[in-house]
Amino acid sequence: MDLTSDEERWAVWMVQARRFAERQNFADAVARIKLVRDAVQRALGEVTDPKQQQRLERHRARAEEQLASMESQYDAWRSEIAARRQHTIDQAEEEMARPLPVPAD
């Protein structure tokens, strides 16, 4: 197993996840980080060298930390959207009571 290329791929995926989150594309960001976490977990199962295991453990810990952060951002974003939707629903009766700007014939 060539860890260098795998680690480079994981680094690219982590950057992609961060950029997805910057654009509030949290579903893809969380999915990408989970992909990294799972790939590192599989690699951990194949490695027997203690130094490589430590390195992979650090990658996994970083992925878990970023995953927790992105999931909390995702939850906050979803709750903000839910609050806006509820506000719109709550205002619907008032809006329907207002007269139309142009009278109907």
Residue pair 23/32 in contact by the 8 Å Cβ criterion: no
Quickly state the pLDDT bin for 31 (edges 50, 70, 90): very high
Please state which of the four CATH numbers 1.10.3720.10, 3.40.50.150, 1.20.58.80, 3.40.50.2300 is assigned to the domain occupying 3-97.
1.20.58.80
Domain boundaries, the chain: 3-97
| Helix (H/G/I), strand (E/B), else coil: 2 | coil
- Report the pLDDT value the prediction gives residue 100, as an integer from 0 to 100: 77
Overall average pLDDT of the 42-70 stretch: 91
Kindly tell me if the per-residue pLDDT of 3 is higher than 70. Answer: no
Split at pLDDT 50, 70, 90, the class of 32 is very high
Where do the H-state alpha helices sit in the chain?
Answer: 3-22, 26-46, 50-97
